[in-house]
Each structure stands twice: as C-alpha cells, then as structure tokens.
Amino acid sequence: MDDKEYNAMLERAMSKLPPMALRHERFEIPKIYSFIEGSRTIIKNLSDIAGILHRPQDEIFTYLLKELASRGDVEKGRAIIERPMRDEMINDKIKKYTNEFVLCRECGKPDTKIDVIEGHRALKCMACGAWRFVKKI
C-alpha cells in the first residue's frame, strides 16, 4: 500500500467516526465580572461561579480573600473585596481554585464533590471514580 492509498483509507475510517469522538470537550473555567468602587472591588457574579463549580460561594470567597491577602464581605449578594483589584488577578485565583478543588486530575472533568476520606478532605470524581486529598481552605 502506498502513502496515497493509506491516507485515503485513513480518511474513510475517520469519516465513519461520529463527530463527538473527535471532539474533546473541555470544561471552561468561569470568569468573574467585577468593578472598582472607590477603594473596593465588587464581584458581581460570585454566586453564578459557585453554581457552575458546584461549590459553596462562602468557600470560594474565603479562598479568594486568603489568596489575595485581602479582607472582604458579602453584602446584599455582592462579594466585596476591601481593595481595588483587577479582574485578571481574581480570575487567576478562580482558575487556581478550580484546578485544585474542582477538576479531576485523571479525566479533567468538573463532576466532582468534596468528601471526607479517612478524616481528610478529598476530591471525588463522579465521572471516573478517581479521588485525591485536597488542602483545607
């Protein structure tokens, strides 16, 4: 079989695959929307992010404040950081949080939950069954 024949065969084989098999679905890490009001940063969509990540808003916010070495509070549903801060800085931390506490390292899926295994916090993947210990926030 020459190259041309081989390529034609390969193409025929590929065309028989369902389109889904070729597509690699990736979870998109949600982004925060914030604005600066005086010397504070208001995050508008923290509850949406908590919903997408299936994690408590309080936990995400506690993590953000710790990582950003800032103080803050939730007032009337708006998460407020007591410091002016750019979106990118906060989004970096959301990304870090997602990688650490949401995504499965085996299959990359976000269908996970935090459980307690042998007295430690662990991330369990509902998609592939893998689990690993995670740090305390």
Min dist CB 29 to Zn ion, Å, is 16
Task: Return the number of the residue (82 or 115) whose C-beta is nearest Zn ion.
Answer: 115
Task: Return the number of the residue (89 or 114) whose C-beta is nearest Zn ion.
Answer: 114
- HEC readout, 30-77: CCCCEEEECCEEEECCHHHHHHHHCCCHHHHHHHHHHHCCCCEEEECC
Q: Which two tokens stand for residue 83?
A: 């410091």
Task: Return the number of the residue (41 or 112) whose C-beta is nearest Zn ion.
Answer: 112
Min dist CB 110 to Zn ion, Å, is 9
Min dist CB 23 to Zn ion, Å, is 18
Cβ-Cβ contacts under 8 Å for 32 (sequence gap 6 or more): 43, 44, 45, 46, 49, 87, 90, 91, 94
Task: Return the number of the residue (44 or 132) whose C-beta is nearest Zn ion.
Answer: 132
Binding site for Zn ion (CB under 5 A): 104, 106-107, 125, 127-128, 130
Q: How is residue 19 annotated by DSSP? A: H
Phi, psi for residue 52 in degrees, rounded to 5 = -65, -40
Min dist CB 97 to Zn ion, Å, is 18
